[in-house]
Structure formats: structure tokens, C-alpha cells
A and B are shown apart, each in its own frame.
Chain A
Amino acid sequence: MNGVHDMGGMHGMGPVEIEKNEPVFHSQWEARVHALNLACGYHRKWNIDMGRHSRERIPPAEYLAFSYYEKWLRGLEMLLVENGLVTPKELATGRAESKASGAGVLRASEVAGFLRVRRLARMDDDVPARFRPGERVLARNDHALGHTRLPRYARGKRGVIDRDHGVFIFPDTHAMTRDKKPQHCYSVRFAACELWGQGASARDSVYLDLWDDHLDPA
């Protein structure tokens, strides 16, 4: 979707300000929201791409006004209701109408193991690669309404396959229909001038990780 989350190349956002000696969390609620997101993910009612898409669907004015963990909180509320773990009434009142049935719950003793996951998105499927390193590609000029990992600033632009990362889940379908649609994911090099015009430095480039379904031969 052409949302405000797709920020690459936007103007007017102000300076980058690095906070000295920044704490991991600025307040306790931020820490709880981060942990709640992980602990709720344990139920496997949604995947990481659905998680990202939930935050992308926060209305633009709110998305820009929210702090980072406010977005995580709102996204989690959406996921809990949409995937049936919490009812809208429960969310509104804060009172449980029923207990979760049968589901296990992440225990403190399981946290370390839970975080040591080795495979998230890489797949073993034997899918042929459509492109080889060094080949020229054109990023598709698609404007899907749903989730996509192809940012607007690269659409319709020409790049070169830098390396083939192997076969990965395709987030664009995984977020919408849970279809993993395994395919090759590549690092694609775009010259800065191709993306931003002749004002950009001729030496510089931007590398994006894109999938077969984002690319055509150029």
C-alpha cells in the first residue's frame, strides 16, 4: 500500500537527532508493549508480515504522530481482535469475557529458547532463480493495496542483481493471505542517480532486498 510508512525519499521530516546514552526503553510501558508483542506472537495466530502490515494500516495522521511503541501497541490491538484472541468488547472494556481455551502460554523459562529461533523466513523449497548476479532488472511499477516490501522510490527503476540470498517467504502474499509463495530474494543495486536523478552522487548506490515477484528483466 502507498502508505506513510513508506518513507524513503520524503522531504520535510527534519534533522536526524541521535540521543546520547539512550536507554533501551524510555519508560516501563514501552518495555511492556515490546514484550507483549513477542509473547502474543508465541500463539502463532499471525506472522511477522501480518504484524508489519498491521502497523502500516494505522491511519496516516496517527502513524506520524505516534511514538514507535504506540504504533506497536495499536498494531497489536488490531492483530489480537482480527485474529480472534480478543473480542472488540474485551478490548473496549478491558475485562475478559472468557478464558483462552487450551492454548499454551509463553513461560519465563521458555523465553531464551523462544528467542533463539534460527529460521524465520528462509525456505528449503527448490525454486529456480529467475535472475543471476550481474543481470539487469526493472523493479515493477505495482501499486498494490496490500502489504509490499517494494518501496515506492524503487518502483519502475532499473538495477542490477548484486547477490542471490536464496529462497525466502514472499512477504507481500504472506501478510495478506498467509501464502508463503517461496521464491528467491536478491540484493539489488540501484545507482543513486537512477533513483534520485542527476543531482545524486554518481558513485553512490542504494541496495534493496527484493523478490522474484518484484522484478522483471531489463
Chain B
Amino acid sequence: MSDHHGDDHAREHDRPLSGPALRARALESLLVEKGLVDPKALDELIDTYQTKVGPRNGAKIVARAWTDPAFKKRLLSDATAAIAEFGFIGRQGEDMVVLENTPKVRNVVVCTLCSCYPWPVLGLPPVWYKSAPYRARAVIDPRGVLKELGSEVPEDVELRVWDSTAELRYLVLPERPAGTEGWSEDELAAIVTRDAMIGVAQVKLPARGKR
């Protein structure tokens, strides 16, 4: 669904519903009828994760860390408190850890057992992060996965894979790319990608003229 637009939801009603869509609708109407769920609260929850929470939050954290050494120090020593300075707190981000990439060390985050992911700073996880291939391979063949994704790790760089097996949630602080000296926080945040904050990509300079 690469051409996803807001009106997909409206159009969906014109198509026959598939198995899970039917079951989901039946379950929601049952729970509403029983008085266990308020559909307006569901709308609000959906709106939150579609429009208010996402990787732009994490990008602001990274950009601040790149430009403010005191913030970076706080971020690396107590990530939860430093991230809370932005108001990014709550569900699936209650206890945060930030992992700093350097020229000698790269970090990659996975959840092999389920789909643990730092919602307040990255939003809900993408399908590939929750998929069997990533969960299976990120721990046994991280260099192979990163190479396939176009982010090969040189032999002399140490690779650390973080399997999110508890309620700690990990955010990678990517390396600031050369050529961004003097950029504003907003300009820097604009080039920080979700995949770089998971650790499967590095932040690159945009093509010339797109700054």
C-alpha cells in the first residue's frame, strides 16, 4: 500500500472485508455492546499513534544530542529523564536506554521474542521489525542483515546487538554525518531516519539542494 492516503479508510468500507477485518469488527461491536469499550476512545488511541507519536520525536532527541553536549551527557547517563524533557514519556518508553554509535562501535536493536519498541520516540514498529526474518537473523547474522539493507559494517567496527527482552527500550544515537557543521537542530532532525535510530542504517546527507 505505497499510495496510502487518509481516504483509504473510507474506501475500505466498499471492499469485502477479509477474515481478520470481520472478526475485529465483530469483537469491537461485542465489547461496545457489553460496555467494556468506548469507540470514541478507540478513535483517540488511533489518532495518537497515527499523528502524534512517531520517529519525528526521536529525531528531535538525536538532533539535540548532536548540538548540545550537556544534553547528550544527560541522555547517555539517564535517557528516560533526558527524553522526558521533551515530554516524550509513557507507554513502551517507561525505561529508556540510548546507545551511542561511534566510528568504532555500531548498535542494532531487535526484539527476538515479540515486538518491543520505544513507542514514545519512534511510534509503532514497522512490519519488518516485527517480522520473522528480522527477529530470527538480527542476532545470528547482524552483519548479513545490515549488508542486505545497504549499511555494511566494516570488519574493524564492533557491532553490538541489543535484544529487547525486558521493559528497557533502546534508541540508537547515530553518528552525525560530516558536512552538517552549523546546521540548526531542525535541519538536523529532518535527516534523522527511523531506521538509523533502530540501528540498521546510518544518517546520510540528503542529495544536494534538498537541505
Contacts and interface: CB of A to CB of B under 8 A. Distances in A.
Contact of A36 (B42, B157, B163): B42
Given A11-B136, A116-B90, A204-B161, A91 B30 contact: yes
A122 to B, nearest CB: 6
Nearest to B164: A209
Contacts of B29: 94
B41 A107 contact: yes
Interface in B145-193: 145, 148-149, 155-168
Contact of A27 (B12, B42, B157): B12
Contacts of A165: 95, 166, 168
B114 A85 contact: no
B40 A206 contact: no
A26 interface: yes
Output the residue of A13, A18, A107, A112 with the most chain B CB within 10 A. A18
Interface residues of A, number: 94
Contacts of B2: 19-21
A20 B128 CA distance: 11
A70 B19 CA distance: 9
A218 B18 CA distance: 52
B120 to A, nearest CB: 9
A115 B48 contact: yes
Contacts, number: 277
Given A6-B113, A76-B27, A21 B167 contact: no
A160 interface: no
Contacts of B8: 23, 27-28
Contacts of A212: none
A138 interface: no
A118 B50 contact: no
Nearest to B22: A29
A34 B45 contact: yes
B9 A28 contact: yes
B203 interface: no
B31 A111 contact: no
A185 interface: yes
A165 B1 CA distance: 40
B148 A15 contact: yes
B185 to A, nearest CB: 24
B26 interface: yes
Contacts of A128: none
A111 B41 contact: yes
Nearest to A14: B133
A32 B46 contact: yes
B124 A208 contact: no
Contacts of B158: 203-205
A110 interface: yes
A90 interface: yes
B58 interface: no
B28 A52 contact: no
Given A9-B139, A19-B127, A36 B24 contact: yes
21 contacts: A19-B126, A22-B126, A26-B4, A27-B12, A29-B25, A31-B46, A31-B49, A32-B24, A33-B24, A35-B42, A76-B27, A85-B34, A86-B34, A103-B35, A107-B40, A151-B165, A165-B166, A203-B157, A203-B158, A207-B163, A209-B164
8 smallest A-B Cβ distances: which pairs? A8-B112, A209-B166, A121-B167, A35-B45, A29-B21, A35-B42, A10-B136, A23-B4
Given A5-B113, A17-B133, A36-B27, 11 more contacts: A5-B114, A18-B126, A24-B49, A24-B50, A32-B24, A69-B20, A86-B36, A149-B166, A187-B162, A200-B140, A203-B156
